[in-house]
Amino acid sequence: MSAGAIHLSLGWHDWLNLFAHYLMLSLMSLGGAISTTAEMHRFLVEQHGWLTQAQFNDAIALAQASPGPNVLFVALMGWHVGMNAGSTTAAFLGVAVTMVGIMLPSTIFTYQVAQWGHRNRELRAVRAFKQGMAPLVIAMLLSTAWILASSAGRGVADWPLWALALASCLVVWRTRLHLLWVLGAGALLGAFGVV
């Protein structure tokens, strides 16, 4: 990791600026926090120079590889900003500022809307919304799978990865085998260079 490539001294107004930025990103994050990564890059790497390009990339890759929601890449960015500012305490502050910022507004908003929808679930409009969205929701799942499967980015040379993705899809679709076995098999095949 290239921590140490940047040495920052951040004042309280910088932290406030970071917090405010993530509050705003939260409300823009339709389709998930990942949809605002381009804007995070512009703000953290290009405009302020608080993160190196390598730290930015690592944060996203590591969050993909680690168990848990992908939104944790935001915590890693906060962590790196804090480490660049010179201390573990600052790193924890960075995690708190970015995670609370990205979660708070969207969480309050979504909770309110979801409760309203639940109370009015017999309304024809609410039912039509839910049934009408279902085909698109399925399309979004399949698209996410497609984009994740093509993320290695080596084109035709990736055919073993596609075969693995297809095989795990069939296994999970058609059997009740525990997901961790399938993931473990994928990790082993990868570690020994089969895919």
Q: Interface residues for another protein in 24-83 (CB under 8 A)?
A: 26-33, 35, 58, 61-72, 75-76, 79
The owner of tokens 């804090």 is: 82
Q: Report if residue 186 touches another protein, rule: CB under 8 A.
A: yes
CB of residue 12 to another protein, shortest distance in Å: 23
Exposed e or buried b per residue across 35-59, where buried means at least 16 C-beta atoms within 10 angstroms of its C-beta: ebbeebbebbbeebebbbeebbebb
Q: What contacts 172, CB < 8 A, 6 or more positions away?
A: 179, 182
Q: What contacts 86, CB < 8 A, 6 or more positions away?
A: 7, 8, 9
Residue closer to another protein, measured from CB, 43 or 79: 79
| Footprint of another protein on 111-140 (CB under 8 A) | 111, 113-115, 117-118, 121, 124-125, 127-140
Q: How many residues bind another protein (CB under 8 A)?
A: 98
Structure tokens at 138: 């399925």
CB of residue 10 to another protein, shortest distance in Å: 19
CB of residue 79 to another protein, shortest distance in Å: 6
